[in-house]
Structure 1
């Protein structure tokens, strides 16, 4: 019986080693996956935030430039355009871009994009933000 007991210990030792190595591998993989997930998440968040910031900054500059262009005109059509441009400026300034975790961020961005399209329609200029970014990417100072 002593020989059988030693044999059982040998199989138990092999099984326990396999189980221990499996647990160590799982733990190590989980830690590396968590680290990579955080790194990739930060990179994605920074990229998405930069894109959103570029878009908001563009709307702000667009509105300021058109407000300057239209400020001296006094006809009714120009007043309507200035009012729409000022509404766009107001939306840009009240958007919660300082708080990226705001639950209203996407809703505010949708409102901002809609107002931009409305202003572009009133001004008879292209309303696609991507066209402006694509055309200005080759500009150097």
Structure 2
């Protein structure tokens, strides 16, 4: 090896190190991006399913609540009960019009808010509390 090659080797070593470092960094960045994208997609799907199931359970609860009260009130004939039945039927109508099949709808949150508002109105007319968390979450404290 002559002296020029030796000096070129020493002089170019910084460039080789920088190029190798660049290749290593881009490889890790590419893999990190791919790994992060895959993990983010997976976590997003799980969170979306959980959130969607929560909304579905609430809307189903409102429907069951309204149908139960409609059955309980159907044989009464006074003016107050007619108003209650009308409000309950309105709640049933809102729930049945709810679009389950289009999760990307821009009016989805508005529809859920209308259902919640109508539910609160029905509860007020029926003189029942609007907080059913203890009943919906189950009887975790009870054992048989």
TM-score by length of 1: 0.92
Secondary structure of the equivalent of 2:101? Answer: coil
Q: Distance in 2 between matches of 1:105 and 1:133?
A: 23
- Tell which structure's C-alpha radius of gyration is larger: 2
Q: 1:14 aligns with which of 4, 12, 17?
A: 17
Structure-2 residue corresponding to 1:72: 75
**1:64 to partner: Cα distance:** 0.5
The alignment of Structure 1 onto Structure 2 pairs a total of residues equal to: 139
- Deviations, residues 39-75 of structure 1 (Å, cap 9, x unaligned): 1000000000110010000000000000000001111
- Is residue 80 of structure 2 the alignment partner of residue 104 of structure 1? no
| Contact residue 59 and residue 116 of structure 1 kept, 8 A | yes
Query: Is 1:29 aligned to residue 32 of structure 2?
Result: yes
1:50 corresponds to? 53
Q: Write the distance in 1 (CA, Å) between the matches of 2:35 and 2:139.
A: 37
Unaligned runs of 5+ in 1: none
Runs of 4+ in 1 over 6 A off after TM superposition: none
The CA distance in 2 between the partners of 1:72 and 1:109, in whole Å, is: 30
- TM superposition shift of 1:8: 2.4
Aligned-residue CA RMSD in angstroms? 1.6
In the superposition, the TM-score normalised over structure 2's length comes to 0.90
